[in-house]
């Protein structure tokens, strides 16, 4: 069953060299781009490379234009791929992924992924995961040993075993990092312990707590409010009755004077007496409200505690909640420093157990890889020979490393002998580009169903070949397209006839300017078009 992957749906070029405004539609099978030399076929590849993160050159902008744009639309409804784009921070909806590049005449360039600006590195990362270009030898995923090993694991259905190994290896790496940090810390343990102990002692005096700080502030405000009220009552009582010039003292003097000289009528004397009595009652009532309890010492203690809080917060530049965390962290670190030797032993024991498990898993992986490498070698050799490399033999060889790595203990080498008796060489060291392309194509035939790569671009795979070899390559490309989308640029009718979608690129001169055009060859016209290609 064909695995859901990315699908290049369309490519639009505006003011891009000889393309003024051109949209190319691609199918989900074998797409072939044909046309005369110089018609603009390579420009399509250049445009796709910009989509996949290559740097832009302003020379590509059509003469007398201010900018050029390239836009690609991909179709995808696979949940894992959607999740991947969500993690990148560039989610998409309606099952469409949009990538756009804008190049200005001033030399600037902008990239957009799903309507958000992005870096070229992001586009390059996506391309490395889902796209493979065969034909540019410095940019081929298949020449990476890590990638070759991943493909072998997919071929041998050992992805789950490798995933288990990687989980243990990551745990081992984490433990080893922790041990290194602990050993490094032990080198300055004494100084660090003194420092941490000092910080704990300082923090311990406060024992920071947000709740306590809030309570202290509340009590302080209550005491201050109480004192203010007491001061106000005291002052009021002083004015009313406690001073020589208080209201009651003055009324007493008035009473004495009026009685001495009998100045007041009976009614007035009664009013004065009532006033004295009322003011006396008021004075008594106010005096009862004056709390003579002295809270100065408690207030001073609270102010000093709050001041300690402020000093610590300024020192560590944090709020009280964070101050609590700092205190706890120092306490934890102190315990660790106290028990660091014991922790080193515990970590060392754990590392040894994890390492032993990693070696067990790595050995199992390596044994299985060796077995399937032989099977893959045989299958690759058959495929390559069908592509008219009759004397070629492919050997996928594995060496056992002495140390563990993220891939286990296996070191892989894809080797080929293209001429019998001339010896084996690494695939990436083979001089002939045509032979290399055919070996890579053979790998694609076998591995494309399980690989994450969705779009295969084959550029100049037909260089230096013809006849039956071209037919074999056409069949091989068609086979790869059953599991993934294939886009190939060719000038050979033997390859073009296997296409599902045939795209013609032509060039014309109009009003002393050159224009490139693309058109999809209709099914009913395809056979005649290919016959015409053969006659050229």
Which strands form 513-520's sheet, in the order they lie side by side? Answer: 131-134, 455-459, 485-489, 30-35, 501-510, 513-520
Q: Where are the alpha helices (DSSP H) in 452-505?
A: 467-480, 493-496
Q: What is the pLDDT of residues 339-362, one digit of tens each?
A: 777 788 889 999 999 999 999 999
Rounded Cα gap, residues 337 and 203, in angstroms: 18
Query: Percentage of the chain with pLDDT > 70?
Result: 93
> Which pLDDT score, from 0 to 100, does residue 293 have?
56
Q: What is the pLDDT of residues 160-200, one digit of tens each?
A: 888 899 999 999 999 999 999 888 877 777 778 788 889 98
**Torsion angle, CA of 324/328/329/334, rounded to 10 degrees?**
140
> Which pLDDT score, from 0 to 100, does residue 23 have?
95
Rounded Cα gap, residues 488 and 134, in angstroms: 9
**Beta-bridge partners for 11:** 24, 72
Assess whether pLDDT exceeds 90 at residue 403: yes
Q: Answer for the pair 130, 453: CB distance below 8 angstroms, yes or no.
A: yes
The stretch 117-139 carries a mean pLDDT of 78
Q: What is the pTM of this model?
A: 0.62
Residues 6+ apart with CB under 8 A from 336: 343
The HSE-up count of residue 96 (CA atoms within 13 Å, CB side) is 9
Assess whether pLDDT exceeds 90 at residue 113: yes
When pLDDT is cut at 50, 70 and 90, the band that residue 138 belongs to is: very low
> Which pLDDT score, from 0 to 100, does residue 432 have?
57
Assess whether pLDDT exceeds 80 at residue 140: no
């Amino acid at each position: 069953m064909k695995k859901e992957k990315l699908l290049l749906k369309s490519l639009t070029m505006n003011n891009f060299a000889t393309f003024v405004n051109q949209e190319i539609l691609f199918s989900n099978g074998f797409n072939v781009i044909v046309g005369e030399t110089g018609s603009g076929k390579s420009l399509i590849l250049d445009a796709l490379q910009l989509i996949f993160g290559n740097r832009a050159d302003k020379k590509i902008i059509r003469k007398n234009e201010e900018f050029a744009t390239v836009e690609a639309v991909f179709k995808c409804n696979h949940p894992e791929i959607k999740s991947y784009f969500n993690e990148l921070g560039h989610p998409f909806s309606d099952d469409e992924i949009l990538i756009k590049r804008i190049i200005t005449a001033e030399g600037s360039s902008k990239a957009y992924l799903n309507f958000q600006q992005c870096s070229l590195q992001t586009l390059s990362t996506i391309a490395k995961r889902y796209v493979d270009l065969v034909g540019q030898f410095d940019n081929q995923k298949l020449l990476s040993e890590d990638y070759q090993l991943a493909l072998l694991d997919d071929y041998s259905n050992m992805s789950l075993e490798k995933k288990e190994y990687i989980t243990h290896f990551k745990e081992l790496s984490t433990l080893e990092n922790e041990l290194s940090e602990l050993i490094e810390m032990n080198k300055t343990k004494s100084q660090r312990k003194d420092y941490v102990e000092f910080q704990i002692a300082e923090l311990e005096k406060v024992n920071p707590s947000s709740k306590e700080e809030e309570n202290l502030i509340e009590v302080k405000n209550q005491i201050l409010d109480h004192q203010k009220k007491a001061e106000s009552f005291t002052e009021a009582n002083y004015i009313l009755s406690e001073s020589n010039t208080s209201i009651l003292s003055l009324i007493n003097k008035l009473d004495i004077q009026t009685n001495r000289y009998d100045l007041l009528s009976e009614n007035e004397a009664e009013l004065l007496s009532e006033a004295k009595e009322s003011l006396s009652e008021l004075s008594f009532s106010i005096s009862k409200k004056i709390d003579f309890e002295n809270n100065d010492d408690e207030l001073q203690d609270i102010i000093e505690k709050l001041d300690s809080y402020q000093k610590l917060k300024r020192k560590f530049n944090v709020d009280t909640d964070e101050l609590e965390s700092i205190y706890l962290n120092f306490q934890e670190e102190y315990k660790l420093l106290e028990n660091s030797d014991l922790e080193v032993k515990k970590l060392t024991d754990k590392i040894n157990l994890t390492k032993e498990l990693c070696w067990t898993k790595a050995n199992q992986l390596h044994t299985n890889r060796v077995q399937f490498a032989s099977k893959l070698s045989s299958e690759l050799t058959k495929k390559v020979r069908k592509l008219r490399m009759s004397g070629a033999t492919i050997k996928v060889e594995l060496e056992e490393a002495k140390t563990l790595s993220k891939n286990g203990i296996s070191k892989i080498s894809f080797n080929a002998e293209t001429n019998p008796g001339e010896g084996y060489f690494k695939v990436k060291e083979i001089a002939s580009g045509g032979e290399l392309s055919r070996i890579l194509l053979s790998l694609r035939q076998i591995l494309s169903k399980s690989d994450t790569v969705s779009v295969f671009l084959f550029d100049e795979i037909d260089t230096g070949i013809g006849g039956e070899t071209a037919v074999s390559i056409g069949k091989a490309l068609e086979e790869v397209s059953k599991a993934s989308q294939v886009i190939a640029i060719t000038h050979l009718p033997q390859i073009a006839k296997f296409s599902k979608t045939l795209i013609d690129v032509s060039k014309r001169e109009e009003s002393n300017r050159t224009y490139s055009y693309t058109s999809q060859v209709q099914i009913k016209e395809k056979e005649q078009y290919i016959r015409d290609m053969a006659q050229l």
